[in-house]
Amino acid sequence: MKVVFLDIDGALNNFGLTRRNGLDYIDEPMVGLLGGVVKRTGGDIVLSSFWRLDPRDRSLVDSALKRHGMFVSDRTPSMPGPRSKWLRENPEVVRYAIIDDDEDAGVGMAHSFFRTDPEMGMTARTAEMIVSHLNWGDDD
């Protein structure tokens, strides 16, 4: 099983877009890039963003992903070390990628951390790096 730990703010939007469109904005082209990652890797999306905590925010995430043929398969728990705890509880994971703009999100997991620039959000380059990482070692 491959997993994409997904943040929203700074990953599927950026500062400029949220200033123009509001704090609950999710960028369709960035969601499309994530869709390419999921399609090419077969990865499951685990929501690790604060957006996982509020039902309205979660609904916005679900709608944006659904428009691109994706869904959230799970979310991280609300406690310290939520990604590592989630991984311990899901030993079937063989590879994972963390997509987040917060540099602290990669502490202890730098080998699988893909930091997005909060001024840019998800880029095609980042998406390609994630695909390469998640598919590394797969037989072609």
Torsion over CA of 117, 74, 55 and 103, rounded to 10 degrees?
Answer: -20
pTM: predicted TM-score of the whole model, two decimal places = 0.93
Tell me the domain boundaries of the chain: 2-135
Which residue, 136, 94, 130, 109, is CA-closest to 11? 130
Round to whole Å and give the CA distance between 9 and 120: 11
Residue 131 has a pLDDT of 98
Q: What is the pLDDT along the chain (140 residues), one digit of tens a residue?
A: 999 999 999 999 999 999 999 899 999 999 999 999 999 999 999 999 998 989 999 999 999 999 999 999 999 987 667 899 999 999 999 999 999 999 988 888 999 999 999 999 999 999 999 999 999 988 65
Residue 140 has a pLDDT of 53
CATH of domain 2-135: 3.40.50.1000
